[in-house]
């Protein structure tokens, strides 16, 4: 494997998790081994000590009952029975003089342990020792014990069988541990890869997106774990970004397309005045028209900004308790003169309703847009009716009904789009932004604006607002 690939592997979370997993496993296995090793060696030592003490007690009984000569013969017999390479016996006086022993040819390296004898004579306590004989693998456990007045018994027993068992145990442990650490690393790698694969999917999608494809989504698993939650949140975030980018695109398309006309008109005005106008009055007219066009342009830009801010949630509502009946009456009063000018009757039905929580200035703007449209698109002699009602005290409903031009069925789904205007209404001034703003503001209140219409007979726009926003 090329070295930089190996280096990048070593940086991965999966690699580090595997290392940790195998490391923790190895350390805990070693601790378990050490505990077990200590337990087993102390068990063997205690067992040997018990055997040595039992033999010493037999010697002490024989000495008491049958005398020193019987003890000497017993030492020879016991050494032969146990095996000369297994046990040895020495009978010593209190000053360490040997007066009898078993066959010591195999044990000649073991001298008289003067320090142990001194300790025994002084403290009258049995002295145990473990001795390693040079150039031999096994160890010897030795007991010094007083078996009668002035008679010390030194018994030694080879610990070879126990050492062999412990060595075998060590070897088996080593082999098993190497295999288990390998297995733990394998399992750790598998588990880490499984956990990290979800994060990698998110990273891959993010990379594809930075390459320009916003429609990609991370596949979400069915386990519902943290990785699935991350994928879901990431996808939600992508959805939101996609909407925002589409809105920005639409907005720039709109700017390019719809703001061009007023600017072209302003330019045309200036050009005509420059080429033809010679009188001061003509310049004044041009200036007045330019101001008017600029006002329309500014109004359009402000409305567009308002719609975008409201839809993206940047615009915060200034909420308070709102008396809907009063708001509807105010809107009707405001637009009454316009209705009169156009020869229309404007009726306002406002029974008292429960107050709702909302932004009064924004609700006023929705109402003004709907009533203004109804008046604009209803020919003289027609009727506009604005009525307020409520459903179960939980929703306020305002309907704005007119007997005007109506909207063709194929245009109905499009009237809330930005800059959309029906062909038959182009004779009236307008920007095609009023209904988009009304709907965006209603939705910011968790309400909506909907429409039903019959061409040539009239339209009904319905504003629905909940009394309280759901959190
Ligand atoms: P504007 O009124 O400035 O053109 P709007 O967004 O308010 O823009 O309305 C979009 C279009 O929907 C209007 O141009 C008109 O064609 C249609 N429309 C809106 N309200 C009515 C209505 N009450 N009757 C008939 N057509 C309407």
Q: What is the pLDDT of residues 101-153, one digit of tens each?
A: 888 888 888 888 888 888 888 888 999 999 888 777 778 999 999 998 889 99
Among 25-29, 219-223, 416-420, 446-450, the minimum mean pLDDT is found in 219-223
Predicted pLDDT of residue 189: 87
Closest Cα to atom 16 of ligand 1: 422
pLDDT of residue 438: 97
Query: Is the model's pLDDT at 336 over the cut of 90?
Result: yes
pLDDT at position 95, please? 85
Average pLDDT rounded to a whole number, residues 13-39: 88
Res. 212: pLDDT tops 80: no
CA quadruple 416, 419, 424, 425: dihedral sign: positive
Q: Please name which of 68, 77, 89 lies closest in space to residue 151, comparing C-alpha atoms.
A: 68
Q: What is the 3-state secondary structure (H, E, C) of 120-151?
A: HHHHCCCEEEEEECCCCCCEEEEEEEEEECCE
Could you identify the atom of ligand 1 that is nearest to the CA of residue 426? 14
pTM above 0.75, yes or no: no
Q: Is the CB of residue 405 below 6 angstroms from any atom belonging to ligand 1?
A: yes
Compute CA distances 191 → 13, 21, 185, 201, 253, whole Å.
Answer: 12, 10, 10, 16, 50
Dihedral (Cα; 319, 324, 329, 335), 10-degree rounding: 50
H/E segment holding residue 389: strand 383-391
| Closest CA relative to residue 433, chosen from 288, 303, 272 | 303
* Ligand 1: centre distance to CA 415 (Å): 7
Per-residue pLDDT tens for 303-330?
Answer: 988 998 888 777 888 999 999 999 999 9
Residue 421 near ligand 1, beta carbon < 6 Å: yes
Query: Of all protein residues, whose CA lies closest to atom 8 belonging to ligand 1?
Result: 432
399 band by pLDDT with thresholds 50, 70 and 90: very high
The three-state secondary structure class of 7 is: helix
CA atoms of 377 and 423, how far apart (whole Å):
12
Residue of 392 and 347 predicted with greater confidence: 347
Per-residue pLDDT averaged across 386-398, rounded?
91
Output the pLDDT for position 275: 84
Give the Å distances, CA to CA, from 354 to 15, 279, 325, 388, 443. 64, 61, 9, 11, 20
Say whether pLDDT at 416 is over 90. yes
Give the pLDDT score at 3. Answer: 63
How close is the Cα of 408 to the center of ligand 1, in Å?
12
346 pocket-lining for ligand 1 (C-beta < 6 Å): no
Per-residue pLDDT band for 2 (boundaries 50, 70, 90) equals low
pLDDT confidence bin for 285, thresholds 50/70/90: confident
User: What is residue 373's predicted lDDT score, i.e. its pLDDT?
Assistant: 96
Pocket test for ligand 1, best of 304, 375, 377 (most atoms within 8 A of CB): 377
When the pLDDT of each residue in the chain is averaged and rounded to a whole number, the result is 88
The pLDDT value recorded for residue 410 is 93
Q: Does residue 6 have a pLDDT over 70?
A: no
Residue 49 has a pLDDT of 94
Q: Does any ligand 1 atom lie closer than 6 A to the CB of residue 431?
A: yes
**Most confident listed range (12-26, 134-148, 387-401):** 387-401
CA angle 63, 68, 73 (to 5 degrees): 95
Q: How far is the CA of 462 from the centre of ligand 1 (A)?
A: 14
The span from the CA of 143 to the CA of 153, in Å, is 8
Least confidently predicted of 116-130, 155-169, 211-225, 364-378: 211-225
Q: Which of 434, 440, 449, 450 to mutate to test the pocket of ligand 1 (most atoms within 8 A of CB)?
A: 434
Tens digits of residue pLDDT in 77-88: 888 888 888 899
**Which ligand 1 atom lies nearest to the CA of residue 374?**
23
Place of tokens 């000053």: 95
425 lines ligand 1 (CB under 6 A): yes
What pLDDT, on the 0 to 100 scale, is given for residue 150?
86
Q: What is the pLDDT of residue 270?
A: 84
Binned at pLDDT 50, 70 and 90, residue 277 comes out as low
Cross-strand partners of 453: 459
- Percentage, residues of the chain above pLDDT 70: 97
Is the minimum distance from the CB of 407 to ligand 1 under 6 angstroms? yes
CA of 291 to the centre of ligand 1 (A): 25
Going from the Cα of 356 to the center of ligand 1, the distance in angstroms, rounded, reads: 28
How far is residue 411's CA from residue 400's CA, in Å, rounded to a whole number?
19
Neighbours of 409 (CB within 10 A): 10
Is the predicted pLDDT of residue 334 greater than 60, yes or no? yes
Ligand 1 centroid to residue 320 C-alpha, Å: 30
Measured by CA distance, the residue closest to atom 20 of ligand 1 is: 373
Q: Which atom of ligand 1 is nearest to the CA of 421?
A: 14
Q: In what order do the strands lie in the sheet with 458-466?
A: 345-349, 383-391, 395-402, 458-466, 448-454
Q: Quick one: average pLDDT of 7-35?
A: 84
DSSP string over 34-99: HHHHHHHHHHHHHHHHHHHHHHHHHHHHHHHHH-HHHHHHHHHHHHHHH-TTTEEEEEE-TTS-EE
What's the 438 CA to ligand 1 centre distance in angstroms? 11
**CA 319 to chain CA centroid, nearest Å:** 34
Of 50-64, 199-213, 419-433, which one has max mean pLDDT?
A: 50-64
Which tokens hold the place of 361?
Answer: 């200035």
pLDDT bucket at 53, cuts 50 / 70 / 90: very high
CB of 401 shorter than 6 A to ligand 1: no
Q: How far, in Å, is the centroid of ligand 1 from the Cα of 432? A: 7
Taking residue 438's Cβ as centre, other Cβ atoms within 10 Å add up to 24
């Amino acid at each position: 494997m090329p070295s930089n690939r190996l280096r990048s592997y070593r940086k991965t979370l999966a690699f580090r998790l595997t290392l940790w997993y195998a490391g923790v496993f190895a350390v805990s296995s070693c601790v378990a081994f050490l505990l077990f090793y200590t337990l087993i060696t102390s068990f063997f030592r205690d067992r040997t000590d018990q055997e040595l003490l039992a033999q010493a007690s037999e010697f002490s009984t024989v000495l008491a009952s049958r005398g020193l000569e019987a003890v000497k013969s017993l030492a020879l017999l016991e050494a032969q029975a146990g095996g000369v390479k297994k046990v040895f016996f020495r009978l010593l006086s209190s000053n360490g003089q040997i007066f009898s022993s078993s066959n010591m040819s195999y044990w000649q390296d073991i001298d008289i342990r003067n320090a142990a004898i001194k300790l025994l004579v002084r403290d009258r306590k049995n002295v145990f020792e473990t001795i390693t004989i040079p150039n031999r693998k096994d160890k010897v456990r030795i007991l010094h014990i007083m078996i009668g007045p002035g008679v010390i018994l030194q018994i030694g027993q080879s610990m070879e069988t126990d050492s062999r068992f412990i060595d075998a145990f060590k070897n088996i442990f080593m082999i098993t541990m190497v295999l288990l650490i390998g297995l733990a690393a394998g399992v750790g790698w598998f588990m880490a890869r499984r956990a990290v694969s979800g994060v990698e999917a998110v990273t891959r999608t993010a990379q594809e997106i930075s390459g320009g494809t916003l429609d990609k989504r991370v596949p979400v698993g069915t386990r519902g774990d943290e990785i699935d939650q991350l994928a879901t949140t990431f996808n939600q975030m992508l959805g939101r970004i996609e909407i925002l980018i589409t809105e920005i695109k639409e907005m720039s398309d709109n700017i390019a397309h719809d703001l061009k006309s007023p600017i072209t008109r302003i330019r045309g005005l200036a050009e005509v005045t420059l080429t033809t106008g010679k009188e001061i009055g003509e310049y004044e007219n041009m200036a007045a028209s330019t101001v008017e066009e600029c006002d329309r342009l500014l109004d359009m830009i402000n409305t567009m900004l308002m719609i975008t801010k409201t839809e993206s949630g940047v615009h915060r509502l200034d909420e308070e308790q709102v008396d809907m009946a009063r708001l509807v009456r105010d809107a009707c009063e405001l637009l009454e003169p316009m209705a009169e000018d156009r020869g229309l009757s404007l009726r306002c039905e406002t029974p008292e309703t429960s107050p709702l929580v909302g932004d009064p200035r924004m609700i006023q703007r929705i109402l003004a847009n709907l009533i203004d449209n109804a008046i604009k698109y209803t020919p003289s002699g027609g009727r506009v009716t604005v009525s307020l009602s409520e459903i179960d005290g939980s929703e306020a409903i305002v309907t704005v009904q007119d007997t005007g031009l109506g909207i063709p069925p194929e245009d109905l789904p499009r009237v809330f789009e930005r800059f959309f205007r029906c062909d038959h209404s182009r004779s009236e001034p307008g920007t095609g932004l009023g209904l988009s703003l009304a709907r965006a503001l209603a939705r910011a209140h968790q309400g909506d604006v909907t429409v039903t219409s019959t061409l040539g007979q009239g339209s009904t726009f319905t504003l629905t607002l909940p009394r309280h926003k759901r959190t």
